[in-house]
Amino acid sequence: MVETVAAKPFLKFHLARCMKSTPTAIVIGAGIAGLASAIRLAVQGMQVTVYEKNAYPGGKLSHFTISAYQFDAGPSLFTQPGHIEELFALAGEPVEDYFRYRKMPVSCHYFYEDGTQVKAYADHDLFDRELVEKLDEEPGSLQHYLKRSENMYRHIGSVFLNHSLHKRATLFKAGILRALKATRWSYLFRTMHQLNAKHFRNPKTVQLFNRYATYNGSDPYQAPGMLSLIPHLEHSEGSYYPAGGMISITHALYRLAEKKGVRFCFNEPVERIIHNEGVVQGVVVNGENIPADIVVSNMDVYFTYRHLLRDTYQAEKILKQERSSSALIFYWGIRKEFPQLDLHNIFFAKDYQAEFDHLFRLKQWYHDPTVYINITSKCEPGLQAPEGAENWFVMVNAPANIGQDWAQYREQYRSAVIEKLSRLLQTDIESLIEAEEVLDPVLIQSRTASYMGSLYGTSSNSRMAAFLRHPNFSSMIRGLYFVGGSVHPGGGIPLCLQSAKIMSEMVEKDRK
């Protein structure tokens, strides 16, 4: 059956399809994966149109201002800049004309309840010495751990993250057999926590490396040890700061897309994806049928099926997988500078396992949350915040939205965070807040169409999570593809960019 709106528009729709010569693509959503997809398809010679329900590009990677304070609204960690450089090289544009960044000497500053402070230096020798002196770890234990993490990424992660797990020919070409051969049973049958606890002797060090499960919204006490490849990306490849803040990534990709002829339609949500006899036909926008040869959805895959395809069966099937965690973020303009803080800072919960138990099993707020603070004014003083002040992006992990009382949770989390930071920094934090905005899971869902406010789609709390993520293509509708954090290979800027690459390679092959 053809999904359509009315007979006359449908006739015009088919005439338009017959008359066009240049292959056309429609991208639903101007998030980072949507922008990268549009660029890659335009480079292939396609006529690309992006429909975005918001008035701005970037999705979660957006930006706003309160008074003289600048805030990146979403992702705050920048790793693997090579993915962005690859996009510009593919488009034949010099990346330095659009985008600049620098490597950070310290990836994160950690604070513990007993007053212990640890700096995760980019220099492995300095970081190892820090763990030896502050946490009484064995000399060289860090290098050994990161070497194992690197080997895991090189032999296993690169295959699983750079290729589709849902096309047999692609997997064998990518070297899946070699990857499986290199896989240790402990990576699959031990949890991330068990693997880290076996390698490090201080629970504080274990907690430090357990936190990398949160990079895809998962629980280190359930997620497989395979996730211990994540520290390699930050500690071996490095963390970076983009000039102008994270929003500069959005600006750069948006400018590049426009340079390549991509057309953007903001404030125009797609109402439906049209398909007939297993072939995509286009989309419906403002009641009008828009034809296209291929359609790429950068929308959460659940909402794609539920609202755009009206396929409740597939939508409910997706719900059988556990959702990732969400977040509650306080954007604070702080009328003081804190020299002991860095770009990235973590204030750990005393009982980490209890915190994750509340996030995933109880789905309730936790009275002693781990607090992350990102302060871009550390890298650009006077530009991101007024002189003598700092812009604090304060985030706590929160359960996915299942109807909790978020008005109450906001107040509870706010009080807990202020009490914790005031105590550990020995300063009355609340008296310093002169600008404030809050983002909770309900707002995350409404603004970014992330179902239940989950930041990464589904969690990775099972051994088969990588294989259960939705593929980058539809097996039922030819010409329909999926990108973004809710599909393979997962959430976060690098993986969203990878999803666009995997999708575009499929499109190129399918068109041939």
H or E segment to which residue 295 belongs = strand 294-297
Q: Are residues 251 and 280 in the same domain?
A: yes
254 assigned to some structural domain: yes
Average pLDDT, the chain: 91
Task: Answer whether residue 104 shows pLDDT above 70.
Answer: yes
Rounded Cα gap, residues 283 and 53, in angstroms: 14
Mean pLDDT of 345-370: 98
Q: Are residues 151 and 86 in the same domain?
A: no
What is the tens place of the pLDDT at every residue in 443-478? Answer: 999 999 899 999 988 888 876 666 678 999 999 999
Q: Are residues 257 and 277 in the same domain?
A: yes
User: Would you give the DSSP letter of residue 451?
Assistant: G
Task: Answer whether residue 4 shows pLDDT above 70.
Answer: no
What is the tens place of the pLDDT at every residue in 117-159? Answer: 999 999 999 999 999 999 999 999 999 999 999 988 887 766 6
Of 96-110, 182-196, 402-416, minimum mean pLDDT range: 182-196
Rounded to the nearest angstrom, the gap between the alpha carbon of residue 237 and the centroid of all alpha carbons in its chain is 18
According to the model, what pLDDT value does residue 142 have? 97
Instruction: Sort 186 into a burial class: Cβ within 10 Å, 0-12 / 13-18 / 19+.
Output: middle
According to the model, what pLDDT value does residue 155 have? 77
CA 433, 336, 66, 344 dihedral sign is: negative
Of 76-90, 185-199, 276-290, 482-496, minimum mean pLDDT range: 185-199
Last residue of a domain, one of 213, 237, 261: 237
**Any idea which residue has 């007024």 for tokens?**
386
- The edge-to-edge listing of strands for the beta sheet with 288-291 is 270-276, 279-285, 288-291
369 assigned to some structural domain: no
CA 415, 418, 421, 424 dihedral sign is: negative
Q: Are residues 232 and 256 in the same domain?
A: no
According to the model, what pLDDT value does residue 464 have? 65
According to the model, what pLDDT value does residue 21 have? 80
Give the three-state DSSP class for 101.
strand
Task: Answer whether residue 24 shows pLDDT above 50.
Answer: yes
- The edge-to-edge listing of strands for the beta sheet with 47-52 is 263-266, 47-52, 24-28, 294-297, 480-482
Task: Answer whether residue 67 shows pLDDT above 70.
Answer: yes
User: Would you give the DSSP letter of residue 400?
Assistant: P
Contact 247, 57 (CB under 8 A): no
Domain CATH number, residue 28: 3.50.50.60
Task: Answer whether residue 171 shows pLDDT above 80.
Answer: no
Q: What angle do CA 355, 117, 336 make, to 5 degrees?
A: 95
Give the three-state DSSP class for 107.
strand
Q: How far apart are the first and last CA of the chain?
A: 27
Contact 327, 397 (CB under 8 A): yes
225 assigned to some structural domain: yes
Rounded Cα gap, residues 448 and 443, in angstroms: 8
Given pLDDT bands bounded at 50, 70 and 90, which one contains residue 1?
Answer: very low
Q: pLDDT above 90 covers what percent of the chain? A: 80
Task: Answer whether residue 14 shows pLDDT above 60.
Answer: no
Rounded Cα gap, residues 426 and 419, in angstroms: 10
Q: Are residues 259 and 207 in the same domain?
A: no
According to the model, what pLDDT value does residue 168 have? 65
479 assigned to some structural domain: yes
429 assigned to some structural domain: no
Rounded to the nearest angstrom, the gap between the alpha carbon of residue 420 and the centroid of all alpha carbons in its chain is 27
106 assigned to some structural domain: no
Last residue of a domain, one of 187, 221, 237: 237
Assign residue 261 a region (left: φ > 0; alpha: ψ between -120 and 50; beta: otherwise).
Answer: left
**Any idea which residue has 């950068």 for tokens?**
298
pTM of structure: 0.92
164 assigned to some structural domain: yes
94 assigned to some structural domain: yes
Task: Answer whether residue 2 shows pLDDT above 50.
Answer: no
Task: Answer whether residue 162 shows pLDDT above 80.
Answer: no
Mean pLDDT of 102-120: 97
Q: pLDDT above 70 covers what percent of the chain? A: 89
Given pLDDT bands bounded at 50, 70 and 90, which one contains residue 176?
Answer: low
Q: Are residues 187 and 266 in the same domain?
A: no
According to the model, what pLDDT value does residue 237 have? 94
According to the model, what pLDDT value does residue 89 have? 98
Q: Are residues 218 and 268 in the same domain?
A: no
* Domains in the chain, number: 2
**Amino acid occupying residue 285:** V
According to the model, what pLDDT value does residue 174 have? 53
Smallest Cα–Cα separation from 63: which of 53, 76, 45?
A: 76
Radius of gyration over every alpha carbon of the chain, rounded to an integer in angstroms: 23
Q: Are residues 131 and 232 in the same domain?
A: yes
**Any idea which residue has 């020995």 for tokens?**
426
Q: Are residues 141 and 226 in the same domain?
A: yes
Q: Are residues 131 and 216 in the same domain?
A: yes
Q: Are residues 151 and 93 in the same domain?
A: no
Task: Answer whether residue 385 shows pLDDT above 60.
Answer: yes
The answer to whether the bond into 231 is cis (omega within 30° of 0) is no
Contact 73, 60 (CB under 8 A): yes
Mean pLDDT of 359-380: 98
Rounded to the nearest angstrom, the gap between the alpha carbon of residue 39 and the centroid of all alpha carbons in its chain is 19
Q: Are residues 227 and 130 in the same domain?
A: yes
Distances (CA, A) of 290 to 3, 51, 273, 287, 508: 12, 11, 10, 9, 22
2-20 b/e (C-beta count within 10 Å ≥ 16 → b): ebbeeeeebeebeeeeeee
- Partners of 393 in beta bridges: 331, 374
Of 284-288, 425-429, 471-475, minimum mean pLDDT range: 471-475
Last residue of a domain, one of 237, 269, 291: 237
**Any idea which residue has 């666009």 for tokens?**
500
What is the tens place of the pLDDT at every residue in 184-214? Answer: 656 667 999 999 999 999 999 999 999 999 9
Given pLDDT bands bounded at 50, 70 and 90, which one contains residue 163?
Answer: low
Of 4-13, 291-300, 306-315, minimum mean pLDDT range: 4-13
Q: Which domain holds residue 186?
A: 126-237
